[in-house]
Structure 1
Amino acid sequence: MAPRLSPDGRRLAVGILTREGNADIWVYELERGTRIRLTTDGPQTIRPAWSPDGTRIAFSSNKSGNTDLYWKRTDGSGEGGVLLSRPGDQWLDSWSSDGQVLAFQELPPDGTSGRARDIWLLPLDADPFPFRISTFYERQARFRPGGGWLAYVSDESGQNEVYVSPDSGSGSRAPISIRGGSEPVWSSDGTELFYRNGNKMMVVEVGAEPSAASLPRLLFESGGEFETNRWMPYYDVSPDGERFLMIRRAGATESTGAEQIHVVLNWFEELERLVPTDN
């Protein structure tokens, strides 16, 4: 679940779900093909986000009852620690490129009237503060590399759309997607914003002002064999912007009934194999 490439593109952090329904985070060395189990907290320890220097991973876990925010060193050493624990459920989205702020979506505690999911920001040296609170579902907050802006998804229009707003939490927002969009992921240089619309992968060129962003452009369309998710991006983009990392559903096996997940790194070669074209 929610694959995340390290800042240098050499490692992969991903949540792996067991047959029993528990989930923990594993870290893969892509060149060597090795892996370590980073967490053993369960029952749901998911949503990894790398620190900019690649030495720590923050994540969400419900090991204490509510879903709270934690961190651990990427080599598995040490015990890690708690980043935020409070009533309600806190679902991690991303880590700012300066390493100072985390973005997360909160499901308020029972009895909070009229609210769905809200986006909050957590400075590592201060208390969390709201970025977007409403009666709608706001989620999938992704900091722009280099700072300044935050992409997120809201259903305020009646369907999911991607927006960009100043990462300070103040100021106007700019709509990015057209006729639906979710799972925003920035390019490593912050000049492009990718998102999904069903099985379509779209891209928008974003300059200094998102309000002047380009029209969405179709990159490719799959046949539905790759996982998507309404709460968090189920793909990532390599630091050089040349490859997409996707999760492919292989289907249930006859012997165990378990679902097999394949990571696809060379997306464009895979796409040509699955969907041949004449040009």
Structure 2
Amino acid sequence: MSGGSPIVLCEAPAGVAPPSGSWNRNDVILFGPVGGTLRQVPARSTGASATPATSLQQRDIAHRWPSFLPDGEHFLYLAQGGEADELRIGTLASGHVASLGPSDSHGVAAAGKLFFVRGGNLMTQPFDFDRRRLTGVPALVAAHVAVDPPWGRGMFSVAEAGTIAYSQTARVPSELTWFDRTGRILGTGGEVGVFFNVDLSPDERSVAVSRMTHQAGARANFDIWVFDLMQGGARRLTDDPAWEFDPAWSPDGKRIAFNSNRPDPLRSPFGLFMRAANGGGQDVALLTPDTTAQTPDWSPDGRSLIFGRSDVGRNSMDLWTMPVDPPGQPEVFLQTSHDERSGTFSPNGKWIAYYSSESGRNEVYVRPFPRAEGVIPVSRGGGWMPRWRRDGRELFFVALDGTLMAASFDATKGLTMNAPQPLFKLGVSGVEHQRQYVPTGDGQRFLMPRERADRVEITVLLNSPATISR
């Protein structure tokens, strides 16, 4: 590596799914998924257009984790979307595809064998590199090897010399943790798990979170859970096979809005739903999933929601509002050619804070409600994930380096009073999860999932029989 500035090779639209890629000896880069498929682009040309390297077959939804074979022409990849995920071999020149059979994870070809996870176990099978086909029978390498759901990335690595490293943990577990304004830990609430979006109940006695549960060899599930912060204990609010994220408590504490990709978590976009916070009754569909909706937030009177929405054919997210009590039709609040996300009502209902990519990077802004006329910049140098203090006199957000920021705001005049002040580093990850912290009403404490890397172990196998040719 000689250093220097990054070079833009081609456009690669961002998505929720983590990107993956591979670079061969002929300077061709495979990457994706883009529109579900893998793309190829020359590594030494700028401004080129990426061309398809794979095409979706019947029931395919995405191709991931490409890895070139030694000839630089053929490549392994994982195809997702059928009854079971499948390892395949593709080729750059002809587009010919060959199946290597079902797999829970991506595949690694090394030391004359193919390594993959099946049924929660790391398996190996002799692989003929010249004929590009499996021979012999699969053999067990290690039991209970994790796969990162839902993307199918196995938690293992194999060196060409045969050394194997693996983990039984797919996602770093986290613990719901209280921090003060300096970043000092004040305590924890609930059990250790894999948590994403969080929202406090209005009385601050409970927290709603999106939580991942996963059994080896099965698809992961993401549900809304409610944790009792006073007496302990947790209960599952949703129990649908689809995925649920972005819980938001109503101001009276009686309802929780969320999004879900029902009925098919592999193919359906995210619609908006609502459920009684005590778990009674049934889920109520607010916005049918023919469009993608995220991060709902309630108006202070509990009669409306604001949410991000991306319609079919649009590559950006816009802000919409929708009456809930009584029910009504959604209306555009702010729609541009850029992304507008994570809209949230000020406590007096007169302002909407959000973040937008209109400047070329994510920045936090405030606009008046209900008419989005005029814009008030809040962040300086980038920001996202805005959340209000209960009195509306302070707006929190996360800087692009992960620092929690606090900006003073005059909710009567719509003015930012001073430059935003840094509080502490959050350590948040992934823009696909928009609410990774929540402030208390007085703005003195913050609740968020704190990763517990001490709960993760990596096992290394040296001179494993699985990598020794027989």
TM-score, with length taken from structure 2: 0.51
Aligned to 2:319: 119
- C-alpha contact 1:69 1:92 (8 A) present in aligned 2: no
Q: Which one of 233, 242, 262 corresponds to residue 63 of structure 1?
A: 262
Q: Which runs of 5+ in 1 are unaligned?
A: 257-279
Distance in 2, matches of 1:228 and 1:84, equals 25
Take 1:92 and 1:44, find their aligned partners in 2: how far apart are those partners?
Answer: 14
| 2:13 is aligned with 1:13 | no
Q: C-alpha deviations, 1:110-151, integer Å up to 9, x for none?
A: xx25x4111111112321101111111110101111210000
Is 1:132 aligned to 2:334, yes or no?
Answer: yes
2:448 paired residue among 234, 238, 246: 246
Match of 2:237 in 1: 38
Residue 165 in 1 paired to residue 342 in 2? no
Amino acid corresponding to residue 291 of structure 2 in structure 1? G
Q: For the structure 1 residues 147 and 180, does the alpha-carbon distance in structure 2 shift closer, same or farther, using more than 3 Å as the test?
A: same
2:337 and 2:427 map into 1 onto residues whose CA distance is 33
CA drift of 1:80 comes to 3.0
Contact 1:130 1:169 in 2 (8 A): no
Contact 1:70/1:84 (<8 A) preserved: yes
Q: Which runs of 4+ in 1 moved over 4 A?
A: none
Asked if 1:53 is matched to 2:252, the reply is yes
Amino acid at match of 2:343: A
Shift, 1:5, TM fit: 0.3
CA distance in 1: counterparts of 2:209 and 2:353, whole angstroms: 21
Deviation at 1:255, TM superposition (A): 7.9
Higher mean displacement: 150-159 or 14-23 = 14-23
**Distance apart, 1:161 and its partner CA:** 0.3
What displacement does 1:169 show? 3.6
Please state whether the residue corresponding to 2:452 is helix, strand or coil. strand
- Whether contact under 8 Å (2:246, 2:435) holds in the other structure is no
Q: Give the superposition deviation at 1:250.
A: 1.7
**Conserved 8 A contact 1:3-1:13:** yes
CA distance, structure 2, for counterparts of residue 181 and residue 230 of structure 1: 15
Deviation at 1:230, TM superposition (A): 5.3
Q: Name the CA distance, whole Å, in 2 between partners of 1:156 and 1:49.
A: 26
Per-residue deviation, 1:18: 2.2
Matched, 1:153 2:361: no
Contact 2:334 2:372 in 1 (8 A): no
Matched-pair identity in %? 35
Change (3 A) 1:81 1:230: closer
Asked whether the 8 Å contact 2:262–2:289 carries over to 1, the reply is: no
Deviation of 1:209 (Å): 2.3
Matched to 2:449, the amino acid is: I
Give, in whole Å, the separation in 1 of the partners of 2:431 and 2:293. Answer: 17
Task: Give 1:189 shift.
Answer: 1.1
The 5-angstrom pairing of residues 1-279 of structure 1 reads 1-19=196-214, 20-64=219-263, 65-109=268-312, 112-113=313-314, 115-124=315-324, 125-197=327-399, 198-207=401-410, 208-210=412-414, 212-222=415-425, 225-227=427-429, 229=431, 231-251=433-453, 253-254=456-457
Match of 2:71 in 1: none
User: In the alignment, residue 370 of structure 2 is paired with which amino acid?
Assistant: S
Question: What is the deviation of 1:49?
Answer: 0.6
Which whole-Å CA distance do the structure 1 matches of 2:351 and 2:281 have between them? 33
Q: Deviations over 1:141-164 (max 9, x none)?
A: 011112100000000000100000
**Do 1:138 and 1:154's aligned partners in 2 also have CA atoms closer than 8 Å?**
yes
Q: Return the alpha-carbon distance in structure 2 between the equivalents of residues 38 and 184 of structure 1.
A: 25
Q: Which runs of 5 or more residues in structure 2 are unaligned?
A: 1-195, 460-470
Distance 1:68 1:76 in 2: 20
Does structure 2 conserve the Cα–Cα contact (< 8 Å) formed by 1:132 and 1:169? no
Task: Rate the CA distance shift 1:78–1:162 in 2: closer, same or farther, 3 A.
Answer: same
Structure-1 residue corresponding to 2:132: none
Q: CA deviation at 1:215?
A: 2.6
Looking at structure 1, the residues matched to 370 and 358 of structure 2 have their Cα atoms a distance apart, in angstroms, of 21
2:406–2:423 CA contact under 8 A, matched in 1: no
**SS, match of residue 248 in structure 1:** strand
**Residues 98, 146 of structure 1: 8 Å contact kept:** no
Contact 1:8 1:239 in 2 (8 A): no
Give how far 1:228 is off: 5.8
Please give the alpha-carbon distance, in whole angstroms, between the structure 1 residues aligned to 2:284 and 2:430: 30
Between structure 1 and structure 2, the one with the greater Rg is: 2
Give the corresponding residue for 1:264: none
Contact 1:140 1:231 in 2 (8 A): no
Asked if the contact 1:105/1:118 (under 8 Å) is kept, the reply is yes
Cα separation, 2, equivalents of 1:57 and 1:152? 21
Distance in 1, matches of 2:208 and 2:240, equals 16
